[in-house]
Amino acid sequence: MHGTIEELTVRSRALSANPLGDPADRKVLLYLPPGGGRGLPTLTFLHGFTGSARGWLNVSAFAPTVPERLDALVASGTIPPVVGVFPDGFTALGGTQWTNAPAVGRYQDYVAEDVTAAVEGAVGTLARREARAIVGKSSGGYGALAMGRDRADVFAHVACHAGDAYFEYCYLPDLPRAAAALADGTDVGAWLEAARRRARETKLSGSDHAPLNVLAMAAHYSPDPAAPLGIGLPFELPSGRIRPEVWARWLEHDPVRFVPARLDAFRRLRSVFIDCGTRDEYHLRWGARMVAEALRGAGVDLVHEEFENGHGGINYRYDVSLRWIVPRLAR
């Protein structure tokens, strides 16, 4: 690499005493271009569900990591120098949607306030909303859209790659699988501990993803302080019947619903990039189309693209979004 990767410990006030007991001290990875980051704009990358900050350094055969892709774009002059910020959002439930959720913690404030302030203090990056972009994929893409809705005072540029949207398509198929995992009367806490034990001793099984995903999403979309782990399930047990009042709470958090309802916030953004694969296994292309349609109709400066691929192995798409967004960042 031409630039460097450094590690910064952020002591987060937002995550202090979070309900899951997850650490408030978090490692944040930084990509610094040659010459350092003082006075430069920032790209903050939000990882997907079950990801972590250090996961951005995981190597795949023949493929560069995202920090290496960012470095190559800067070194070639394709984009001007920029600082990459990679916060950690792993939780006891496997991940976060990067929002403030009573059953999980204040992960939106952690990024928008604690991480942003720590990076600007340590590196001297440019402290202006027009100089900050938030980008992510899957749950990270969802978090980027939510950040555009709630924290346009901090980030003026948003990129969402295959973000969770149109919950009827992306989440409903997992509900019967999650119900099956809990149908024998196992409560969510016992199931989660058993899954963690499987991961420690061998590995999570393929059938573990759906219940883990549903538990984590329910913790964000339908918290219930009276329920085990504070998680209100969207279905009854043992019947598996959908609980309409709980499912309605989930839908309030769907970008297909909240983007049209908060167009005032999205009009404040300087750039929005949205893409999704035409073969996305979670059917996210349709939600991306709906969100893009709402933003385009509101006059938001938008790029919306589709490409031939599924949900995984699409880090190369950051090359596309960054080529458009980084030159638009204030300097």
What does DSSP assign to residue 315?
A: T
Check whether residue 136 and residue 69 sit in a common domain.
yes
Q: What is the pLDDT of residue 97?
A: 98
Q: What is the pLDDT of residue 187?
A: 87
Check whether residue 138 and residue 41 sit in a common domain.
yes
Check whether residue 293 and residue 322 sit in a common domain.
yes
Q: What is the pLDDT of residue 24?
A: 97
3-state secondary structure of 271: strand
Q: Which pair of structure tokens corresponds to residue 101?
A: 């959720």
- Report pLDDT digits (tens) over 276-324: 999 999 999 999 999 999 999 999 999 999 999 999 999 999 999 999 9
Q: Which domain holds residue 270?
A: 4-166+255-328
3-state secondary structure of 273: strand
CATH number at residue 14: 3.40.50.1820
Q: 212 Cβ partners below 8 Å, 6+ apart?
A: 50, 93, 94, 192, 195, 204
Check whether residue 110 and residue 238 sit in a common domain.
no
Check whether residue 67 and residue 179 sit in a common domain.
no
Check whether residue 144 and residue 244 sit in a common domain.
no
Check whether residue 85 and residue 182 sit in a common domain.
no
Check whether residue 70 and residue 110 sit in a common domain.
yes
Q: What is the pLDDT of residue 185?
A: 77
Q: Which of 192, 217, 252 is the last residue of a domain?
A: 252
| Total tally of structural domains belonging to the chain | 2
- Its pTM stands at 0.96
Q: Which of 234, 252, 270 is the last residue of a domain?
A: 252
Q: What is the pLDDT of residue 223?
A: 96
b vs e for 280-315, b when ≥16 Cβ sit within 10 Å of the residue's Cβ? bebbbbbbbbbbbebbeeeebebebebeebebeebb
Check whether residue 96 and residue 27 sit in a common domain.
yes
Q: Which of 232, 252, 272 is the last residue of a domain?
A: 252
Check whether residue 139 and residue 26 sit in a common domain.
yes
Q: 244 Cβ partners below 8 Å, 6+ apart?
A: none
Check whether residue 248 and residue 259 sit in a common domain.
no
Amino acid at 193: E
Residue 61 CB neighbour total at 10 angstroms = 4
Q: Which pair of structure tokens corresponds to residue 208?
A: 């573990």
pLDDT in tens, the chain (331 residues): 999 999 999 999 999 999 999 999 999 999 999 999 999 999 999 999 999 999 999 988 899 999 999 999 999 999 999 999 999 999 999 999 999 999 999 999 999 999 999 999 999 999 999 999 999 999 999 999 999 999 999 999 999 999 999 999 999 999 999 999 998 877 899 999 999 999 999 999 888 999 999 999 999 999 999 999 999 999 999 999 999 999 999 999 999 999 999 999 999 999 999 999 999 999 999 999 999 999 999 999 999 999 999 999 999 999 999 999 999 999 9
Distance of CA 264 to the CA centre of its chain: 22
Check whether residue 197 and residue 160 sit in a common domain.
no
Q: What is the pLDDT of residue 88?
A: 98
